[in-house]
Structure 1
Amino acid sequence: MTMSTAQAQRQHVQTILNALEGPGTDEDAVIQRSWRRCIDRFGLDPAAPSPPRYVPDRTLREHQDQADALLQVARAGVEQLYRQVRPLDYVVLLTDARGIAVQFLGDRHAQREHQRTGLYLGADWSEEHAGTCAVGTCIQERVPLTCHHSDHFSAHHIRLTCTAAPVFDPHGQLLAVLDISAYRSPESKASQTFALQVVKHYARMIEDAYFLQRYGGRHILCLDRSREFVQINRRYLLALEEDGTLVAANTAGRKLLRHHELPLAGPGEARSFRAWNVQDLLDAEIGEVLDSHRYGEDRVRAFRTHRHHELHFATLLEPRRRRVARDDAPRRDASLAPLEALADDDPAMRDTLTRAARLRNEPINLLVVGETGTGKERMARALHESSRRRDKPFVAINCAAMPESLIESELFGHEPGSFTGARSKGMKGLIAQADGGTLFLDEIGDMPLQLQTRLLRVLAEQEVLPIGASRPIKVDLRVVAATHRDLRGLIDLGRFREDLFYRLNGASLRLPPLRERADQGYLIRRLFEELQAERGDRRVRLRGDAMSALLAYPWPGNIRELHNALRFALATCEGDEIVVGDLPEECVSGHLAHPAARSPAAAETGQARPGRGEDPLEEALRRHRWNISAVARELGLSRPTIYRRMKRLGIIPPNQQTST
């Protein structure tokens, strides 16, 4: 006969009381210590109702702000972990050091269950409020653990299985807790062994990524006991000054230092690091250590430790933005700055830009190809600005946007009175205006065939004949054409001249779509800075949750859509920071890590399924007496988003309703 929920809860309470009356055992000592804290320190009752506790929206934002640097680094690890555990019906929580869930990933369709159980954004999982649980007990004990079924103190949590691991900052202070939880799992706690290993692995990845981000301006020595894995594993990370003084170390690095009798003061040990030099650890001169990445084909060098004489393999990550000039290093050409600004570390873009740099002064025409919105005109302008033609005009023509009746006169110009409607003084055509500079022909695949013939003649002879003129005008042109179309396919269909294609395609430059680029964060920050400079008003910060949503969105409209989304957010945000709710609705609607809502009630409103959103939204409006700003704050959305949803759902404020 299956035990009822009430019976299971009564039995659980009795189990806790019996365990605390006895002498205790080594097995599950962490759990029993937590049970004791719950009773003696926090005064909790395992049988008392324990609904989840959520912090208010404003408090959640404060916690997210304080964890902002971590959230930006942790996003990729949290989302990658969720993709692994989602098929097993786990949710993922990232909490701060006080147990507040500042990031959440879970199935939207199970949202009510998430909120009811507390596995949701803004929930407080500290032991003080939730009793023994993976997050709260991990905070207290500072060790990875699984809290499975009846390990939980509260009888109302005994269906859950939760596994958590701590994330420490570079000085040993608890920074966050990474947790995965599920409502259904096998009875045996041993079933969660693999879950514990996975969470520990991702917690370490997040911790080390945060370390590398924070100390990227220093020398970082990477050590491992294996030569083959030091470049990949980077088990021990030590941040160094130029003279070898230790600045910080990751968790494994701190254990290594203690093992070799370089004692640190414990959590918050920033001062004690500087008592040591890397030469106190390794039997080597500082010059040898800082040059370790220059040895051998694998850029790895072996060292032995002073104490224990253990063999370690080392490589060095040099400081960012503080590169030391060397005689054998190629001198940087300042004229390449416009091209270099187009990308950061995306491999495809770097290959394209390297090719563009080599071709920027060559007397050949270039064809830039890529999806709509990938930045083809930016590429053309950067080519022009980095070339010897930069002091001459850059003339851009959108072949798809210009009316066919005007395109010929606009391109080639005309003499006075050459046709009805012609200007009395004639007009210099766009091609002639680009003389000595660069002519950019955007959407060249949409140019009419008749004009393709005339353009071919211009390119072949480097001269242009205005309408009504008897003599051609010599022009010095460098043409950069761009298209998102398959020109070879258009040639097969007879819609594009093959000879023009070869005349334009002296070399091609391909731009990858934004969704495939590895430097999305760089592009977001660069465009954001450009837009703020353009607006010239108050300075606004792009908060970590908004950045995460932007990075998770697939951007079908590419950089152009990103530009519009950032402009929208800057125009609609009310404070000095952009949060996820300030972004266009389509950028966040499918982003599980950062639901548009800030609280369980708001989440239900903001994430309602089609056909069910009217009642919750109208209820929120009525509760706030139709104060749109108040509703927007509660739901974590912008006011324009609220107005759009009201319009879509046909919700009309009482003061705008008319009697019939």
Structure 2
Amino acid sequence: MTATLSQRQHIDTILQSLASPSAEGEAAMIERSWRRCIDRYGLDPARPTPPRYVPGATLREHQDQADALLQVARAGVEQLYRQVASLGYVVLLTDARGIAVQFLGAKRDQREHQRTGLYLGADWSESRAGTCAVGTCIHERSALTCHHSDHFSAHHIQLTCTAAPVFDPHGQLLAVLDISAYHSPESKHSQTFALQLVKYTAKMIEDAYFLQRYADHPIVCLDRSREFVQINRRYLLAMEPDGSLVAANTAGRKLLRHHELPLPEAGEARPFRAWNIQDLLDAGVDEVLAIPQHSDDRVRAFRTHRHRELHFATLIEPPRRASAVPGPGARRDSSLAPLEALADDDPAMRDTLTRAARLRNEPINILVIGETGTGKERMARALHESSRRRDKPFVAINCAAMPESLIESELFGHEPGSFTGARSKGMKGLIAQADGGTLFLDEIGDMPLQLQTRLLRVLAEQEVLPIGASRPIKVDLRVVAATHRDLRGLIAEGRFREDLFYRLNGASLRLPPLRERADKGYLIRRIFDELNQQRDARVRLRGDAMSALLAYPWPGNIRELHNALHYALATCEGDEIVVNDLPEECTHGQLAHPGASPGLAAPGITGTSPAATRGGPEQDLLHRSLCRHQWNISAVARELGLSRPTIYRRMKRMGIVPPNQQPPQ
């Protein structure tokens, strides 16, 4: 009864406001939207509008079209969610048509998300959902809060929603960022801070997209404050080397209009080409391009031609792809390519690779330290391939994997008949095979103590004595050892020789774990491209999968990443990998993310699952979908927007067994 009375009052409020419109500002936007809902869309406030979800295949099309933005927006959306999650908000990113292409919200409230439409794949366009923050923001091209009874549909009057637009560099609407909650104070003023927070995050996403889109152009950043210009970057103007303006962010376009430089309609090719930076600033193009060399703080003051306003400018220059490995003033050496390929812009890896480049031809042994899976063998190979020993053998030995009974003969070799089971012609040991090249000893901390003594002699004398031989063999080798263990701790326990440690540790190179690296995106793309080439395939890694890979902590480091990408390539259908093609551990425990299936959340599915009490609503919904399609996996996969292997994996995980495979009663 209370809900019916509340809806009736809501309807009366809408009709009274439309009879005598008098609102201003944000309230006027709400009233204009109410009128559109009745006059243009034919919606009825007395008939609550349940949420509408687009099919899984349609959602993927929307995500594909927003893919470039999704890759940039991920960090901003996640940061915003961390700020508001404890207050009960969810975060939606919709495309310019109002389809939710990214969603973050508490898993425990998933059913409520689905019931209200605050979920992935929901259609929040004004023509479908009525007056709402997303749909009205799209129409008005302005940020707003749609609080409780501001919504047109009585189905939404318990919600508070705040949205802000994200524009592309030419002024076209790219997306809408929204935060929404089911429970909030009655006063709309309670959402004032929410509005400012969403506007700020939307601007960050917009500017990050701008900087990525025009990374190959000089970008002038302007601000009225010298102290904040390099932080705020309020006005962004991308230009050609001749000063011709190519694009501007929203604030930059407002600045140009303020100074009476009219802009063509949004969407025109090269819309700013008619204008030059000199038309705005009282400066020559050469002066603008020379800003980084002008002063210690890389900032220079200019006045505008019109209005004579003082602005402080800094310049973001296009990147010059040069090796990060050589030291200052060093020329690029093509032999460093194997080392350069190991990292992009991670500071810890840059320091490690700079040291490795200097050591690659030095006659000292190197100890590579890092967690399991961080790429220690790849580092050793890169050292070898970039050194003057590159044409000689690289011999790798895993000291932990080799049986203790065989390790001595495998390392040092043996003469014919020197022990029971010895080869009739004898065997050349791995150390001798590495003569002239590099011997890589992986997991050196697991080498048996008695063999450590013999290895120490090899390193000290540069000669090896095969089992059963009377004369040693001279060897010229460089040893690179690797470990994930604390060798000093093993020395203290008496399990590793201290003198061997100092023989191996002529220099040490430390590899950071993948979770701490700033260049995870580079590593994902590099490994993915390598696997693509090995398979002679042209599979694409979509933005939602990339977002999940970047968010995962990777306890198994680069080895686990390699395995995850290999798995996704092996099981994906078609020519792209989406988030549901990844191993489940890469998404387990994550919040809802791009690519999660709205089909599992679609309202209107009824019935019960015999295992629902064990697996929860997701299992229940999957079971009903399977029953509805008579256990046709392909049909279920199409409905839910998932691949067939993903359906099979979920069935196995949830214990769902087809009727024809169940044991007889």
- TM-score bracket, normalised by the shorter chain, equals over 0.9
Is residue 436 of structure 2 the alignment partner of residue 446 of structure 1? no
1:511 aligned partner:
511
Partner of 1:268: 267
Q: Which residue of 2 aligns with 1:631?
A: 636
- 2:427 maps to 427
The 1-side partners of 2:465 and 2:239 are apart by 67
Structure 1, gaps ≥5 residues long: none
Q: Which range is displaced more, 586-595 or 197-206?
A: 586-595
Aligned length: 654
Aligned position for 1:373: 373
Query: 2:7 corresponds to which residue?
Result: 9
Q: Report the equivalent of 1:134.
A: 133
- Residue pair 1:370, 1:513 contacting (<8 A) in 2 also: yes
Q: Which moved more, 1:21-30 or 1:95-104?
A: 21-30
3-state DSSP class of the match of 2:271?
A: helix
1:534 paired residue number: 534
Call closer, same or farther: CA 1:220–1:119 in 2, change over 3 Å. same
Which residue is equivalent to 1:102?
101
> Kindly tell me: are residues 323 and 240 of structure 1, through their superposed partners in 2, closer, same or farther at Cα, counting changes over 3 Å?
farther
Residue matched to 1:125: 124
- Give the direction of change, closer, same or farther, for the CA distance of 1:649–1:45 in structure 2 (3 Å limit): closer
Report the residue type matching 2:623 in the other structure. Answer: E
> How big is the shift at 1:595?
6.7
CA distance in 1, matches of 2:620, 2:20: 54
SS of the equivalent of 1:539 reads coil
Q: Which residue in 2 is equivalent to 1:477? A: 477
Name the structure 1 match of 2:171.
172
- Residue 460 of structure 1 and its aligned partner are, at CA, apart by 1.0
Structure 2 vs 1, CA of residues 301 and 330 (structure 1 numbering), >3 Å: closer, same or farther? Answer: farther
2:613, 2:292 → 1: CA distance? 55
| Cα distance in 2 for residues equivalent to 1:255 and 1:397 | 64
Deviation at 1:229, TM superposition (A): 1.4
Please give the alpha-carbon distance, in whole angstroms, between the structure 2 residues aligned to 1:138 and 1:162. Answer: 11
Residue 219 of structure 1: aligned partner: 218
CA distance in 2, matches of 1:36, 1:648: 50
Compute the displacement of 1:659 (Å). Answer: 3.5
Shift of 1:470: 1.0
Residue pairs, 1:358-437, within 5 angstroms: 358-437=358-437
Q: Distance between the aligned counterparts of 2:233 and 2:472, measured in 1?
A: 67
What is the percent sequence identity of the aligned residues?
Answer: 82
* 1:94-113 CA-partner distances (Å, limit 9, x unpaired): 00000000000000110000
CA drift of 1:41 comes to 0.9
Q: Which runs of 4+ in 1 moved over 6 A?
A: 603-606
Alpha-carbon distance between aligned partners in 2 of 1:322 and 1:311, rounded to the nearest angstrom: 34
- For residue 281 of structure 1, what is the aligned residue in structure 2? 280
TM-score by length of 1: 0.96
Cα shift at 1:602: 5.1
Q: Report the CA distance between 1:78 and its aligned residue.
A: 0.3
The question of whether the paired residues in 2 share the 8 Å contact of 1:72 and 1:544 is answered with yes
Change (3 A) 1:655 1:609: closer
Distance between the aligned counterparts of 2:348 and 2:299, measured in 1?
A: 28
> What is the CA deviation profile of residues 448-473 of structure 1, one whole-angstrom value per residue up to 9, with x for unaligned ones?
00111111111111111111111111
**Shift in Å at residue 640 of structure 1?**
3.4
Indicate if the aligned counterparts of 2:149 and 2:157 stay in contact, CA closer than 8 A.
yes
Q: How far 1:566 moved relative to its partner?
A: 0.4
Residue 622 of structure 1 corresponds to 627
Segments of 5+ residues of structure 2 without an aligned counterpart are none
C-alpha contact (below 8 Å) 1:584/1:641 kept by paired residues: no
Q: Does 1:486 align with 2:486?
A: yes
**Contact 1:602–1:634, Cα closer than 8 Å, also in 2:** no
Cα 1:251–1:329 change in 2 (3 A) is farther
TM-superposed deviation, 1:82: 0.3
26-35 vs 548-557, greater mean Cα deviation: 26-35
- For residue 300 of structure 1, report the CA deviation from its aligned partner: 1.5
1:654 positional shift: 3.0
Q: For 1:67 and 1:372, locate their aligned partners in 2 and report how far apart those are by CA, in whole Å.
A: 37
User: 1:318 offset after TM fit, Å?
Assistant: 1.5
Cα distance in 2 between the residues matched to 1:353 and 1:628:
49
Deviation of 1:645 after TM superposition, in Å, equals: 3.5
Counterpart code for 2:351: D
CA displacement 1:474-526 (0-9 Å, x = unmatched) = 11111111111111111111111111111111111111111111111111000
Greater relative CO (CA pairs within 8 A, separation 6+)? 2
Where 1:103 maps in the other structure, the secondary structure is strand
1:611 counterpart = 2:610:
no
**Shift in Å, 1:614:** 4.7
Find the aligned partners of 2:176 and 2:343 in 1 and give their Cα distance: 34
CA RMSD of aligned residues (A): 2.0
Task: State the TM-score, normalizing by the size of structure 2.
Answer: 0.95
- SS for the counterpart of 2:524 is helix
The 1:649–1:304 alpha-carbon spacing in structure 2 relative to 1, beyond 3 Å, is closer
